[in-house]
Amino acid sequence: MTDRSPGRGRDGGPASRQDRATTTNASPLRSQEGSTVGILPPGTVSGRACEAPGCGRTLPQGRRRFCCDLCRQRGQRAERRTETGEFGQMVVRMIGTMARRVGGSDIAAFGALWEVRSAADRACVAAIDGLRAKGFSWSEIAAEADQTRQGLTQWRQRRDARSEGNDPLREPL
Helices (H), 68-148: 69-80, 84-103, 110-133, 138-144
Q: Which secondary structure element, helix H or strand E, spans residue 163, and what is its range?
A: helix 149-163
Q: Is residue 89 part of a domain?
A: yes
Residue predicted with more confidence, 102 or 26: 102
Residues 70 and 89 both lie in one domain:
no
Q: pLDDT (tens digit, 9 = 90+) per residue, 1-43?
A: 455 555 556 666 665 655 554 544 444 444 445 544 445 455 5
Q: Is residue 12 part of a domain?
A: no
Q: Would you call 126 helix, strand, or coil by DSSP?
A: helix
> Do the beta carbons of residue 142 and residue 152 sit within 8 Å?
yes
Quick one: pLDDT at residue 31? 45
**pTM for this prediction:** 0.49
> Do the beta carbons of residue 58 and residue 45 sit within 8 Å?
yes
Which of these three, 79, 98, 131, is where a domain ends? 79
Q: Burial, 99: exposed, middle or buried (Cβ in 10 Å; 0-12, 13-18, 19+)?
A: middle
Q: Beta-carbon neighbour count of residue 2 at 10 Å?
A: 4
- The total domain count for the chain is 2
